[in-house]
């Protein structure tokens, strides 16, 4: 049997998670190992492994993930100072949890990407 997905378990409450937002389709919780003063993961409630698993049927869901990320950035006071949304996909990106997630990072000045 496949190992349980930690993000599915946080979404369903089987594992503790610092959830900051949840509705019928999307959950957002604080990253356990934050890389910025604000580091939140925004995830679909249904298990999708990565962007590679997304289909046209998920268009609305993908839009919701972005809108919720923006709402959280606003609520947490970083919409004007700025923030970064990151979606790692596959081995070369370093994706370590195989449940699609958007990182919302902010609260300090970040190095330029690729710099």
By the 10 Å C-beta count (0-12 exposed, 13-18 middle, 19+ buried), 27 is classed as: buried
Stretch that binds Zn ion, among 30-38, 58-66, 85-93, 96-104 (CB under 5 A): 96-104
Q: What are phi and psi of 112, to 5 degrees?
A: -60, 145
Look up 103 and say whether it is catalytic.
Answer: no
One of 65, 99, 100, 105 touching Zn ion (CB under 5 A): 99
Which is closer to Zn ion, CB of 5 or CB of 110?
Answer: 5
Distance CA 4, CA 81 (A): 37
Question: Reduced to 3 states, what is the DSSP secondary structure of residue 41?
Answer: strand
Stretch that binds Zn ion, among 53-61, 65-73, 78-86, 98-106 (CB under 5 A): 98-106
One of 39, 47, 70, 71 touching Zn ion (CB under 5 A): 47
Sheet holding 26-30, edge to edge: 19-22, 26-30, 38-44, 102-106, 83-86
Binding site for ligand 5GP (CB under 6 A): 6, 17, 29, 31-33, 88, 94-97
Q: Which residues are catalytic?
A: 101
Note the residues at the interface with Zn ion (CB under 5 A).
5, 7-8, 47, 99
């Amino acid at each position: 049997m496949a190992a349980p997905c930690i993000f599915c378990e946080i979404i369903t409450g089987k594992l503790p998670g610092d959830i900051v937002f949840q509705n019928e389709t999307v959950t957002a919780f604080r990253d356990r190992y934050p890389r910025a003063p604000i580091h939140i993961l925004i995830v679909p409630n249904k298990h999708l492994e990565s962007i590679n698993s997304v289909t046209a049927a998920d268009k609305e869901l993908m839009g919701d993930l972005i809108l919720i990320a923006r709402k959280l950035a606003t609520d947490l006071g970083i919409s004007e100072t700025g923030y970064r949304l990151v979606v790692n996909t596959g081995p070369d990106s370093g994706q370590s949890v195989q449940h699609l997630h958007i990182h919302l990072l902010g609260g300090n000045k970040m190095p330029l990407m690729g710099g």
